[in-house]
Amino acid sequence: MNDADLAPDPLLEPVLQGQRRSLARAITLVESTRPDHRRRATALLEALRGHGRESLRIGLSGTPGVGKSTFIEAFGLMLTGQGLRVAVLAVDPSSTRSGGSILGDKTRMERLSRDPLAFIRPSPSLSHLGGVSRRTREAVALCEAAGFDVVLIETVGVGQSETMVAEMCDLFTLLMAPAGGDELQGVKRGIMEIADLILVNKADGDLKPAASRTVADYAGALRLLRKRAQDPEGFPKALPVSALAEEGLAGAWADMQQLAEWRRAEGHWAKRRAAQATHWFEEEVRSGLLAQLTDNPRARGEMAALAAQVSEGQQSPDAAAALMLAYLRGESLDSPPQRA
């Protein structure tokens, strides 16, 4: 511990005061992989803990084309219009493949980004990938400490990102487009099981009848799912909305509040947050153990050399694995352990 660690971080007070520029700098700090930045980020997050501020964390997923940006802008402006402070964070683990084109552009929510009650954080640049979940959780914690009433965590309907976002949210919302009955099958069962609200967007103009049918289809599918202990009567729920016509947004918000209030009153809210914290603790321990294989160039080299021997049939997979594990145990004897 050096002197810098003893003085409070200069970002501490401005973040607690909700200053958006300091919040943005703090998020940049937690996104950094530089060891000194990492130490400073950890100290800052520890100092910010325990201020008792809790945002409503809302996860929002939807495949490209369903109108996520338009929805977030309209929904966010409705909330700021009620005096609520709204933060929007984007999670895009797919951006290595998609080139990050889906998310990350402030200009796609131009009016909301100019609103003094709103804070929009684009998804990190490609160079920062890896550790997506920890970085996002830390950004959520910073927004919460900065006193935001609502934190919207946006993700694309790809891979494991929904599950990850659902593990850091109080509510999970799935945004869908109107569709024929056939396409209902395409919704992954896993997503139906984590969604608290399914919002069928574009319920306006020509698409209104199709949207109504889609809502009925999803409502039917949701009824087939087993009742969850953490849901009041009528949830999970499917609703039509139109982000473009700004219709149905107040109803969706009323449902979110009703669900949140019920879960708070019944104790599910606190239990869920506690279970999520435990989940992330276990995940961090596991990824910390596995990092031994990738962080150290010598370990990476040993792993590659043994993999080559296995591939060429000179070693069985299990004998080679035993050698690698012995090597790693030897490694930690040669060099003194780095204590946290």
For a second copy, the binding residues in 44-63 under the rule CB under 8 A are 45-46, 49
Identify which range of 76-84, 154-162, 230-238, 285-293 contacts a second copy by CB under 8 A: 285-293
Contact (Cβ atoms closer than 8 angstroms) between residue 217 and residue 211: no
Closest C-alpha to 119, from 157, 145, 158, 99: 145
Q: What is the closest distance, in whole angstroms, from the C-beta atom of residue 168 to a second copy in the complex?
A: 10
Both tokens of residue 190?
A: 């896993």
Which amino acid is it at 46? Answer: E
Q: Which of residues 125-184 bind a second copy (CB under 8 A)?
A: 134, 137-138
Query: Min. distance of Cβ 247 from a second copy in angstroms?
Result: 32
Q: How many whole angstroms from its chain centre is CA 103?
A: 13
β-strand pairing of 197-200 with 237-240: parallel
Are 121 and 128 a contacting pair, CB within 8 Å? no
* Minimum gap (Å) between residue 50 Cβ and a second copy: 8
Q: Tell me 246's DSSP state.
A: T
Instruction: List the Cα angle 290/295/298 in 5-degree steps.
Output: 110
Applying CB under 8 A, what is the total number of residues that bind a second copy?
53
| Token duo for residue 74 | 């309209």
Q: Given the complex with a second copy, which of 43 and 245 has the nearer CB atom?
A: 43
Residue range at the interface with a second copy (CB under 8 A); choices 43-51, 67-75, 119-127, 254-262: 43-51
d(CA 330, CA 337): 12
Residue with tokens 């009016």: 111
- Which H, E and C letters describe 274-292, residue by residue? HHHHHHHHHHHHHHHHHCH
Tell me, residue by residue from 239 to 278, as one string, x for binding to a second copy by CB under 8 A and - for no binding: -----------------------------------xx-xx
Choose, by CB under 8 A, the member of 4, 250, 254, 285 that binds a second copy.
285
Whole-number Å distance between alpha carbons of 173 and 154: 10
First to last CA, the chain: 11
**Angle formed at CA 104 by CA 30 and CA 112, multiple of 5 degrees:** 100
User: Of these, 42, 163, 212, 230, which contacts a second copy (CB under 8 A)?
Assistant: 42
DSSP assignment letter at 159: T
Is 3 near a second copy (CB under 8 A)? no
Which residue, 113 or 315, is less far from a second copy as judged by CB? 315
Binding characters for a second copy, 64-103, by CB under 8 A (x = yes): ----------------------------------------
Question: Does 320 engage in binding with a second copy (CB under 8 A)?
Answer: yes
Residues in contact with a second copy, shown as a per-residue x/- string from 175 to 214 under the rule CB under 8 A: ----------xx----------------------------
Contacting positions for a second copy (CB under 8 A): 42, 45-46, 49, 134, 137-138, 185-186, 274-275, 277-278, 280-286, 288-290, 292-293, 303, 306-307, 310-313, 315-326, 328-330, 332-333, 337-340
